[in-house]
Amino acid sequence: MASDKQPLRIGLIGFGCVGQGFYDILQQHPGLGLTVASIAVKNPDKPRPLSADRFTYHADELLNDPTLDVLVEVIDDAAEAFRLVSAALRQGRRVVTANKAMLARHLPELLQLEQQHGGVLLYEAAVCGSIPIIRTLDAYFSHEPLRSVRGIFNGSSNYVLTRMSEEGSDYATALAEAQALGFAETDPSLDMGAFDPRSKAVILAAHAYGVLLNPDDVLNLGIEAVGAADIAYAAARGQKVKVVASLQRLPNGRVAALVTPQLLGPESPLFTVEHEFNGVVVEGEYAGPQFLRGRGAGGHPTGSAVLADVLALRRGLRYGYTKQAAAPAVQPAENLSLDVYLRHADAGVLREVLTWLEMPATALHTDVHGVHASGVVPLLRLLQWRDELRANGVFVARRGEVQAGVAAVAEPLQAEALA
């Protein structure tokens, strides 16, 4: 194992926003004793700030180079990232990754490979950019029972909501701004559809509670259909719309997980988390609530988390996953409910949605903010109709936390085409 004074040779896979941010930080701190010895990229024709001779176009060359002490994977292809990271762990290598989608989908397999072959996998950069939330949960709260972990885990959607709330921008304009600033991808569906924060919630669940979740079983509702009426509805109540990921220990000891827009008031620390910033509230059984806030997007903030992991590897750190031995069960969705607000410009569509969700017709309201609905919905119904809600442009936000104790609902209705 290398000491703090021994230089580390790093193989960097990917040279996009995060890869360049990490590389730039290293150039500004030569005294760290870290050298990017090899960089693998996919596209030989893409303009880059370094000369072409610094790059290889075959990532497997880095896997096959025994002189590299650490492999850092920061590409956006989850399937390729899994192939490379899993191959490196089979070699017993030390690996840092920032790929949250890959981790959320394959964490059980990666942990098994780490244990079988003696490698080490760290991934602080995969969740909340510059906020050291994984290390905080894994080390500081390693043995304390947690009541909840809640937060804004996606800087792109938070930026859009901030612009809509503060400047009165419409969704399309705010999204275009986020893309121009590099906070949102050209294809924004992972961010705006809450798939990205869902992946992060799945990763944090392994450290907060020891549970390994299937992402498909975690409700994720996004902001693709959010409009000025929704922002105004919240503002009239002294609230803001925020996309909040929640991990919550229920009274029966089980864990519930979901990611949806939520109407938050100033009593929540997340109320003041704006633009591309992320925020996390960890509530311990004994420590009480703790609030962490930091930049959740951008090359340098995320690159700083990659650097922290590389330095941690040099010190011999590995995640403990201490709570897995006594991990609680995950609460089935049929025994949970949410108090929600729903809106669609077409009242006929909204009435049909009420039928899908088994809400009474009296849940429909008309006021200065247009036609909307509100009431308690079984979480299972939202999971079953998640795709249809998104496809039909229905905006859904919860008005509180998940509640336990709802009886099982009937078999799902058949979807009908909506005009």
CATH class for the domain made up of 8-130+314-322: alpha beta
Q: Residue 334's pLDDT is what?
A: 85
pTM of the model: 0.94
Q: Which helix (H) or strand (E) holds 397?
A: strand 395-398
For 158, 167, 191, 240, 417, the CA distances from 162, given in Å and listed in that order, are 6, 8, 15, 9, 34
Query: Does CATH place domain 333-404 in 3.40.50?
Result: no
Query: Which pLDDT belongs to residue 23?
Result: 98
Domain definitions of the chain by residue range = 8-130+314-322, 333-404
Mean pLDDT score, 322-330: 94
Known active-site residue 42: no
Q: In whole angstroms, what is the distance from residue 408 CA to residue 333 CA?
A: 9
Residue 406's pLDDT is 57
pLDDT-derived band at 4 (thresholds 50, 70, 90) equals low
Each residue's pLDDT tens digit, 124-139: 999 998 899 999 999 9
Please give the average per-residue pLDDT across 320-341, as a whole number.
Answer: 94
**Catalytic residue, candidates 42, 46, 100, 200:** 200
Closest CA to 197 of 220, 216, 178: 220
* DSSP conformation class of 214: -
Tens-digit pLDDT profile for residues 203-214: 999 999 999 999
pLDDT of 350 strictly over 90: yes
